[in-house]
Structure 1
Amino acid sequence: MAKIMIAPSKYIQGNGELANIAQYVSILGEKALCLISESGLKRVKDTIDKSFEEKSIAVEYDSFNGECSITEVNRIIKICDENQVTVLIGIGGGKIIDTIKAVGYYKNLPVVIVPTIAATDAPCSALSVLYTDDGVFDKYLFLKQNPNVVLVDTGIIAKAPVRLLVSGMGDALATYFEARACEKSNAGTCAFGTTTITAQALARLCYDTLITEGYKAKLAVEEGVCTKSVEKIVEANTLLSGLGFESGGIAAAHAIHNGLTVLPQCHHMYHGEKVAFGTLAQLVLENAPMEEIEEVLDFCNSVGLPVTLKQLGIDEIKPEEIMEVAKAATAKDDTAHNMPFEVTPEDVYAAILTANKLGQEYV
């Protein structure tokens, strides 16, 4: 299998950069559909409208229904057909981003991604994670290409709730450890090849940036300001993690996240918060050195990521429920099998409970 690296065509990051959106959209199409939440539209509509007026680009806005499901994707496809849309824009969080990318896949339309939070590594990838209408993990949809443009306005992200930035750190936390596991197993990646040394280096840089800048960035965003640390963490959460997971590979941490989605108690938790606990469980699964586990525990504790099942909303640990999580995490096509050894439901069950115990003792 060939070594393959993929990436978005253009990545732009800067404070106030949303004001220049039309400059990047205009080379892709003349009639845009913008998928956005109602609250998001209130915050950015004036900025976007002013930019598009200067370039004479028509834009239609549509409100996201809240879930990245095939039902929502089909609804937006119908809107595209009715309005002869030539370019798609997704403005918001991970589920809006994944939804508009999926629409672009089915309609063969260019896609511009504008994350308003740095909560996941979804913006840069050629992947959409689909859920059922009830919010349970459905499947991965591998796309034909990465987004044409990713536009990140760090001024907007710095004003979002700090929990969202921290969740993005949780998602990014898994990047290095999963890429490392995939390199050892020579597993295939989301780029449909094996990992490159470039992807491995980016994944390691992602982790190192989290450790050195994460706590400082959290403090800045608590004050609603954008500092150099915030800029670095936004890039780590968005670009480094996006390139690292996609071309480096994903493994047990994200599979355990997928398993946790079967528990209603966890539905209120963000993606990255569940991935952070999954990362801890993966380190237990592979019997990582205690110094490494302690560094991860220390980082999670400092920025506010969950390290126990209770922090995920599971107040009462029921063995049968944890086993259901473990079984879902080791489903035939899930990424737990990218680990460099066989992984069974019993292995994941043990890793989850041990990770929880480590977290309890550390907290």
Structure 2
Amino acid sequence: MHRRFVSPRAYVQGAGALADASAEFDRFDAEHAAILGGDTALTAVGDTVSAGLADAGVEVSHTAAGVDRCTDPVLDDHVDAATAADADLVVGVGGGVAMDVATAVADRIDASLAVVPTIASTDAPTSTVAVVYDDAGNFREVRYRDRNPELVLVDTAVVAQAPARFLAYGMGDAIATRFEAEAVAATGGRTDADGASSFAARALAEEAYGRVREHGPDALAAVRRDAVTPAVERVVEANTLLSGLGFESGGTAGAHAVQIGLTNAGVREPHGLLVGFGTVAELLVRDADPDVVSEVLDLLFALDLDVSLAELGVEDAHLTAVGEVACDHGMDLEPVDATSRRVADAVRTADELIRERRAD
């Protein structure tokens, strides 16, 4: 198995980047666009995106607001609508769910794909990945587009106006990228890019973690006042680009495995919050250096990402099932014999460490 690194064709980021959207859309050989996004996102920037497309000579032939689930029935409906609109460009606007839906739809109709994140809460925008759930909200599977987005356009002024917790959730996701890339490199597992872990992806994953650790608290302070500072730019890039490239070509493992286990136990809290908690459990599973565990815990607390099982509504009786699901969805890529019992005990211990720190 060879190393494989994949990436979007173009990544554009900056305050006011949407004002220049027409120049980016003009690079597409497209005639008809379907815009898919959440209600809040389209209210905030939908007109600007539509105007940018029009200025580039691309007709907006279909717009779907209220995109808040990625299930097979939802995808079928959007595929039918985009096909009827003769769309050869899909534009996903909003957060992680909108990105997943846009990615899956673009793949099924063989259209080009542009994504316009309005929050920096996950590392999904740069990837080929679409995460699909069942109608009850449980994880079902990951699907892959045959190529990465042709354009990722991030206006940091828009991102800074969103509630600060979304930026924090993205940092929770980015924190995991370093440790999961380490695990996949150590075990020689296959990455989401369908190859061995690349050295470049691991370096990007480490840089994502370093930026969050160094600049995360300052970036949160800035976005609480809707401000765009160099710290915000660095962290948005870490959450979106560095973590995105790092996870896809570096691999996912224990942290996301725990997140899937918690999701399938009925937890419906944000992805990054669960992945941050899962990172602590992942490190405990692999018997990581206590200083590393302590550093990650310090960072989660600094970013207001500390969460207990009680707050997630997870009882001790659920943890065996959480461990079993985790072992079926990536925990096998950890460089240890990660049994379901070992995972359940790590989750218990992560919870206890968080509770003890709060009590201090």
**TM-score when scaled to structure 1?**
0.95
| Secondary structure in structure 2 of the residue aligned to 1:129 | strand
| Secondary structure in structure 2 of the residue aligned to 1:330 | helix
Given residue 282 of structure 2, which amino acid in structure 1 is its aligned partner? Q
Shift of 1:330: 1.3
| 1:190–1:249 CA contact under 8 A, matched in 2 | yes
Q: Write the distance in 1 (CA, Å) between the matches of 2:47 and 2:195.
A: 43
Q: How does 1:237-248 map to 2 (within 5 A)?
A: 237-248=239-250
Q: Write the distance in 2 (CA, Å) between the matches of 1:285 and 1:52.
A: 48
Equivalent residue for 1:96? Answer: 98
2:274 equivalent to 1:274 = yes
2:321 equivalent to 1:324 = yes
Residues 221-279 of structure 1, C-alpha deviation per residue, up to 9 Å, x if partnerless?
A: 11111111010000000000000001111111101100001233x21x10000000000
| 2:139–2:260 CA contact under 8 A, matched in 1 | yes
Task: Tell me whether 90-99 or 41-50 shows the greater mean CA deviation.
Answer: 41-50
Q: How does 1:1-363 map to 2 (within 5 A)?
A: 1-28=1-28, 29-59=30-60, 60-264=62-266, 266-267=267-268, 269-314=269-314, 317-319=315-317, 321-331=318-328, 334-363=329-358
Shift of 1:73: 1.1
| 2:216–2:231 CA contact under 8 A, matched in 1 | yes
Q: Write the distance in 2 (CA, Å) between the matches of 1:102 and 1:338.
A: 26
Shift of 1:80: 1.5
Residues 66-109 of structure 1, C-alpha deviation per residue, up to 9 Å, x if partnerless?
A: 11111111111101121111100000000110111011111111
Q: Write the distance in 2 (CA, Å) between the matches of 1:313 and 1:224.
A: 32
| 2:39–2:67 CA contact under 8 A, matched in 1 | no
Q: Write the distance in 1 (CA, Å) between the matches of 2:48 and 2:85.
A: 23
Given residue 43 of structure 1, which amino acid in structure 2 is its aligned partner? A
| 1:64–1:96 CA contact under 8 A, matched in 2 | no
Q: Write the distance in 2 (CA, Å) between the matches of 1:177 and 1:307.
A: 20
Shift of 1:294: 0.8
Q: Write the distance in 2 (CA, Å) between the matches of 1:22 and 1:154.
A: 17
| 2:42–2:94 CA contact under 8 A, matched in 1 | no
Q: Write the distance in 2 (CA, Å) between the matches of 1:53 and 1:184.
A: 49
Given residue 22 of structure 2, which amino acid in structure 1 is its aligned partner? A
Given residue 281 of structure 1, which amino acid in structure 2 is its aligned partner? A
| Secondary structure in structure 2 of the residue aligned to 1:362 | helix
| 1:297–1:307 CA contact under 8 A, matched in 2 | no
Shift of 1:27: 2.8
Q: Write the distance in 2 (CA, Å) between the matches of 1:49 and 1:83.
A: 15
| 2:12–2:153 CA contact under 8 A, matched in 1 | yes
Identical aligned pairs, as a percentage? 36
Shift of 1:328: 1.2
Superposition RMSD on alpha carbons, in Å? 1.2
Given residue 324 of structure 1, which amino acid in structure 2 is its aligned partner? A
Name structure 1 gaps, 5 residues minimum.
Answer: none
| 1:189–1:248 CA contact under 8 A, matched in 2 | yes
Moved over 3 A (4+): none
Name structure 2 gaps, 5 residues minimum.
Answer: none
Q: Write the distance in 1 (CA, Å) between the matches of 2:142 and 2:264.
A: 16
**TM-score when scaled to structure 2?**
0.96
Shift of 1:309: 1.4
